[in-house]
Amino acid sequence: MLNVVCWVAALLVGVAPRPLWPRIDPRLPLHRAAFASGLLALGIGFVIGVPGFFEFAGGLASANNDWMLARLSAPPQAGDSAVGMVPYGISILTLFLYLFFTPRGLFSLYLVASGSLRALAAFIDPDDALGDPVLTGIYRVTSRLASTNKAERARLARERLEGAERPDVLQTGEWAGVDADYVVLASRKKAEWTAGAIIMTSTDWYKLGTPFDIDTPAGLRTAYPLKKMDAVEVLRRGIRYELPRLAGRKPKADS
């Protein structure tokens, strides 16, 4: 009984955006039920759309007839000879008008199209099954906006700790308590300065260690440890940079 309930639930939950599937109850066979879930959406589209089309077509035909009778009973006007072609032309466009210019038609068309796409994707490869396209699009947009907002808030919070942007400061590795020749203290993170990069000055090359944060009297700083390269290596990432003048040594604590 539980398996049946999980299967039925998977048919409905299968419309959820695909990135959310790993977070959903693992008891729901979302991948195995994806093909049937797509067919279910397709079938619902037909169930909603076909009766709606007949209702729309009947109402449109009645309106056309009323309009044509009103024209025929009115005094003769230019173009009366073409009046008979109007209902015929509209009848040809009835399905198009229903599918693209009525809420019910649009909804049923979407269910049929998205259900067909989901069923086809699941039939080809269940591991590549899809959720509802519109829900997936909304999820991706909102996730991107949320991530951007989170990153922006984190950046602003960090900048408050860093204070005003200032020139880089150079200290020794001993000053920072790390195994490095020098440490560059930056008031803002450097985009390309990642561990393993080669810092090329006019006199020496240095290999960049793993950056870390350090509190200073001037505010939070990103510390970039540099170790002088004694041997030439294959250059993968080279960054041109001139070291600032070495700052004063860290004052010793009173004993």
The residue among 173 and 253 whose pLDDT is bigger is 173
* C-beta separation of 241 from 201 below 8 A: yes
Q: Which range, 77-81, 176-180, 237-241, 246-250, has the best average confidence (pLDDT)? A: 176-180
pLDDT at 37 over 70: yes
Instruction: Work out the angle at residue 141's Cα, subtended by the Cα atoms of residues 129 and 159, and round it to the nearest 5 degrees.
Output: 130
CA nearest neighbour of 64 among 41, 89, 47: 89
pTM of the full predicted structure?
A: 0.71
Taking all residues of the chain, what is their mean pLDDT, rounded to a whole number?
87
pLDDT at res. 141: 96
Tens digits of per-residue pLDDT, 111-156?
Answer: 999 999 999 999 999 899 999 999 999 999 999 999 999 999 999 9
Burial class (CB in 10 A: 0-12, 13-18, 19+), 150: exposed
pLDDT at 180 over 90: yes
What token pair was written down for 75? Answer: 């005094």
* Integer Cα distance of 204 and 193 in angstroms: 17
